Structure 1
């Protein structure tokens, strides 16, 4: 019996040992193979802050400073700090100029005029000085006059008078020929016209002058130079920039005005020209100005709608006061084409005077005769250069003397 019990105990122990070995081997099979430890950088952690519930050091009493005792930190200048640029100073006001007096201005510009016009005057003197004035010579005289844009009818009249007077004169010394030709040219140019620019209305309103013309004749520049002429004669001027279609036309006119202290009334680009002209006259009346100059847009005489608008400007201005002067600006170098322009403008507005520009750059001074004959109105001003004071009142005697030279 004891032997049996002992055998059972031994069997239980053996079974338990075998079970333990089996379990141990299974666990070893489930474990992954051990790998070599990876090398990681050593990181030194900062000292830990006390957490909630941890014991903290007992605070110590320290003397405290008031806000007045605390100094603010001084900011050190940084090399990369942006540099604040000072605002540019406003441009100085333009200096008001004193224009050159207009009296005798054409005489002072005579040398410049005579250099370009000698082809007419000197050419005629040379031909008339020939010993025998045959038909070929008279034809050359006619050609000289026609080339100078005198026009067909005035040329024929002048040649006929010269033929008669030379025949009566008989002997022809240079002095006699020059006096003869001067007299005939003066009669052709005309000495009985009233060539003063009308700038006095006779009412309590300013004199109103409207400047018209096609593109490229120097109309805006002429308006600015005319302001200088009037200021030089002691008149106060207001400028109306009614040319709203050409870029920078108003700026150009305002610059001319600022140089002589004349104010410019202007509107937005592309605005209504009649409205600006109306406002300019209104401002001139309010300021008590002597003259209001209105620069209109350069009209192509072939554009019917634009020409109609020019007539509208004239009608609107006359709601304030009647126009005293309508000046047509013509380029002297355009010759007979300028006469076509003149005719169309005369149909739209009543032209009262002519301004011939670029007369210094052409030998076609005869256009003075032709345009006066065409319109029946006088040439009142001539432009003889690019200078600010190169616009001169037209004086027939000085002009003819410049044609003939010394």
Structure 2
């Protein structure tokens, strides 16, 4: 029985082994599937590779791309910054202290002499010398001294205030407080006022022209400048600088051009542009050159073909004394001088030239230059000037 069971077990094992072998032999073959390729990224057109937002994104990095730079647009130059000059009213008063510092030597000396208890001939001679030294002139000095001697005798004893009052009265009489010092620069009708500036080289003529333009613009006038000093290129350049600072146009030509043609063109443009005042700067002619003086007369005649010459201002250096008087006389013969501009009056004790030049020419001092600053040209005020001479 045991043998029989053993045989059965052996048969079962053999059958199982046979069945497994047959399974292995006849099972379907397994093949490896090919690797699956990752999906391809969609092709982006070249124009769209940089998104409109300026941002490109991928799995690892976000990059901001700046938009393409626009071409720079041309920048217009800024308009020129013109200076706004102060009005001319009150300039003489504002500059009174400066004038007094340089002129009061004469006034103080006269006050000291006249305040003495005893006024003999020697003292009166000193007073006379002091006035002549100050360029009052011989004839005006003698007139003034005679008037003072008479009034001192009448007064008898004199206080300081009385002496000062006497001097002030006499100086105002000689300076001519009642003279018309109006500067005619207002347009008439459709034509501008024309101002001709004349004088010898070195007196500050071109500078005076620029300062006068500045003062008029400060008063609200529209001004045009004519650079008729064609013998010196520096003069036209200097005038151009003055004009650019305050917005006044300058008419100029090449060096050596005909001065009369420059003046004519300036006045013509002034009429076309409807300006208020045309100021013509002429060459600083030597008063010994007859031909040059004739040319100055020609400039004036040519201007008068277009407009009236309202002012002919003679610029004199206050420091030249009696030599300035000779210059004034020669210019007065060439053109009809209407007013005098005294420059460099702040640096001299010779303010008496105001008296002598007016007496000789019968023409008033209308403007005075009291320094190097652009606003140091002022209308002449006889009372302010006299008070500055005598001091406070």
Regarding TM over 0.5, the answer is yes
Match of residue 262 from structure 1: 248
Cα distance change of structure 1 residues 387 and 94 upon mapping to structure 2, 3 Å threshold:
farther
Q: Equivalents in 2 of 1:118, 1:175: separation in Å?
A: 16
**What does 1:71-150 correspond to in 2, within 5 Å?**
94-150=80-136
Do the aligned residues in 2 keep the contact of 1:201 with 1:324 (CA within 8 Å)?
Answer: no
Unpaired runs of 5+ residues, structure 1, are: 1-88
1:209 and 2:188 correspond = no
In 1, Cα distance between the equivalents of 2:352 and 2:386? 10
**2:168 maps to which residue?**
182
SS in structure 1 of the partner of residue 346 of structure 2: helix
> 1:53: which partner in 2?
none
After the TM superposition, which residues 212-223 of structure 1 pair with which residues of structure 2 at under 5 Å, given as runs? Answer: 212-223=198-209
Matched, 1:316 2:329: no
223, 231, 234: which one aligns with 2:217:
231
Greater shift in the superposed pair: 98-107 or 130-139: 98-107
TM superposition shift of 1:202: 3.2
Report deviation, 1:92: 6.0
User: Aligned to 1:250, what secondary structure does the other structure show?
Assistant: helix
Does residue 380 (structure 1) correspond to residue 366 (structure 2)? The answer is: yes
The match for 2:354 is 368
TM-score (structure 2 length as normaliser):
0.80
Q: In structure 1, what is the equivalent of residue 344 of structure 2?
A: 358
The alpha-carbon distance between structure 1 residues 91 and 301, as it changes in their structure 2 partners (threshold 3 A), is farther
Q: Secondary structure at the match of 1:143?
A: helix
Could you tell me how far 1:254 is from its partner in structure 2?
1.0
Tell me the distance in 1 between the aligned counterparts of 2:168 and 2:229: 41
Unpaired segments ≥5 residues, structure 2: 1-74
For residues 396 and 115 of structure 1, the distance between their equivalents in structure 2, rounded to whole angstroms, comes to 17
Distance 1:366 1:100 in 2: 29
Post-superposition offset of 1:91? 8.1
- Taking the aligned partners of 1:268 and 1:93, their CA distance within structure 2 comes to 27
Aligned equivalent of 1:341, options 319, 327, 349: 327
Q: Does structure 2 conserve the Cα–Cα contact (< 8 Å) formed by 1:274 and 1:312?
A: yes
Q: Do the aligned partners of 1:254 and 1:264 also contact (CA within 8 Å) in 2?
A: yes
What is the alpha-carbon distance in structure 2 between the residues aligned to residue 162 and residue 106 of structure 1? 28
Query: In 1, Cα distance between the equivalents of 2:341 and 2:143?
Result: 25
Task: Figure out how many residues of one structure are paired with residues of the other and give that number.
Answer: 318
